[in-house]
Structure 1
Amino acid sequence: MGRIIINNIIRFVVLIVLQVALFKNIGYYNLATPFPYILFLFLLPIGIPNLLLYSVAFLTGLTVDAFYDTIGIHAAACVAFVWFRIFFHKITLEADLRNSFETPTWSEMGFKWYSTYILFGTLAHHLVLYLVEVFSFQNILYTLASVGLSSVFTITVIFIIGVLTYKRKSRLGN
């Protein structure tokens, strides 16, 4: 259990530093901006209590908000994403797996489940993020284009990180 906590603290620090130092300055004509810091929320253990999960998501969003000079936009998007995550885990995972503290990684869950999880989770996060940021339906096509392009950009970065950190499951123990 202690190892899981240490790994998640290191993951949090690395992803926030990458977001603030590198990805904050990368964008495509103010349409597409990657937000790979949400990978931290994706990879939190499955069986984490909901209150703790919402608290961690809120604090993660506030941390990013502090560096982006936004007032709670990332916090709202992270909390909405965690709501989606809980729903997604309820409908796609068996009960015994939902109560485990397994990290939902590509190697543990398989590519099909993981890619669906990343795709829909990123779309949910970005949709809330951009709709709360704009807070208007006046330029909805521009907002939806930003959601789509930023989601593609973020998913690409998350899969690159996934390929770089992929660990093959050991078949010796079975």
Structure 2
Amino acid sequence: MNIRSLISFTLLLLMLGLVQIFFLKNLALFGQAFGFLYVLGILVLPSSIRTVPLLIIAFFLGLTLDVFYETIGMHAAAATAIAFVRPLWLKATSLTGGYDEAETPSLPEIGIGRFISYAFPLVFLYSLVFFTADQWGTGGLVGILSKSLFSSIFTTLLVILVQLLFFKRRRGI
């Protein structure tokens, strides 16, 4: 990763974090669907990034949000969980040749179908870890699963919308 792409990914993470803190903090659709747009920053990091730096980036991004949300490590745990699973999931969802090391797994790069099959399970894992920690012992399994499912759908739609609006198109979608 060169210095220019490092700066652009740093700015992307900063902007997504600010949007999450200032605009999406109190947004909940029907009390069930919460938007975790900052997860996009973890999802679109280059596939060449190694696991340990990815874990560190995800942990500190989640911890920063925990400070503003006052959630005592729930964002950090969920973000670290998807950062841990992401390299394995990239290999599992790749085509026979695998992902190009220079490729970022983003919507303009890999297309809508592959992006949804890559992103939705990771977003669902994020939501499942987050809401399990949030409702530990009080919400019941049905509450955790419903919030996780609806938040995953809402977050995935937000992630797709942001990429369609703001990311450069490189191939037909």
If the length of structure 1 is used for normalisation, what is the TM-score?
Answer: 0.89
Q: What is the correspondence of 1:77-156 to structure 2 with a 5 Å cutoff? A: 77-93=78-94, 98=99, 100-136=101-137, 139-156=140-157
Deviates more, 1:135-144 or 1:33-42: 135-144
- C-alpha distance after superposition, 1:17-40 (max 9, x if no partner): 100000002113432211111000
Aligned residues between the structures: 171
Question: Secondary structure in 1 aligned to 2:38?
Answer: helix
Deviates more, 1:159-168 or 1:3-12: 159-168
Q: What is the correspondence of 1:52-91 to structure 2 with a 5 Å cutoff? A: 52-91=53-92
- Cα root mean square deviation, aligned: 2.1
- C-alpha distance after superposition, 1:76-125 (max 9, x if no partner): 10111112211111223369755723221112112211111121111111
Alpha-carbon contact 2:124-2:149 (below 8 Å) kept: yes
- Structure 1 residue ranges, 4+ long, deviating more than 4 angstroms after superposition: 94-99
Q: Say yes or no: does 1:48 pair with 2:57.
A: no
If the length of structure 2 is used for normalisation, what is the TM-score?
Answer: 0.90
What residue ranges of structure 2 are gaps of 5+ in the alignment? none
Match of 1:158 in 2: 159
Alpha-carbon contact 1:35-1:154 (below 8 Å) kept: yes
For 2:116, the aligned partner's letter is S
Alpha-carbon contact 1:33-1:154 (below 8 Å) kept: yes
| Alpha-carbon distance in 2 for matches of 1:98, 1:7 | 21
- C-alpha distance after superposition, 1:144-171 (max 9, x if no partner): 1111111111111111101102433279
Decide which structure has greater helix share: 1
Match of 1:18 in 2: 19
Deviates more, 1:54-63 or 1:143-152: 143-152
- C-alpha distance after superposition, 1:53-76 (max 9, x if no partner): 110011011011011001111111
For 1:161, the aligned partner's letter is V
For 2:153, the aligned partner's letter is V
| Alpha-carbon distance in 1 for matches of 2:96, 2:10 | 27
Deviates more, 1:86-95 or 1:53-62: 86-95
Deviation of the 1:142 alpha carbon: 1.4
| Alpha-carbon distance in 2 for matches of 1:73, 1:24 | 14
Q: Percent identity?
A: 29
For 2:47, the aligned partner's letter is I
Deviation of the 1:131 alpha carbon: 0.7
What residue ranges of structure 1 are gaps of 5+ in the alignment? none
Alpha-carbon contact 2:123-2:155 (below 8 Å) kept: yes
| Alpha-carbon distance in 2 for matches of 1:87, 1:114 | 15
Alpha-carbon contact 2:108-2:171 (below 8 Å) kept: no
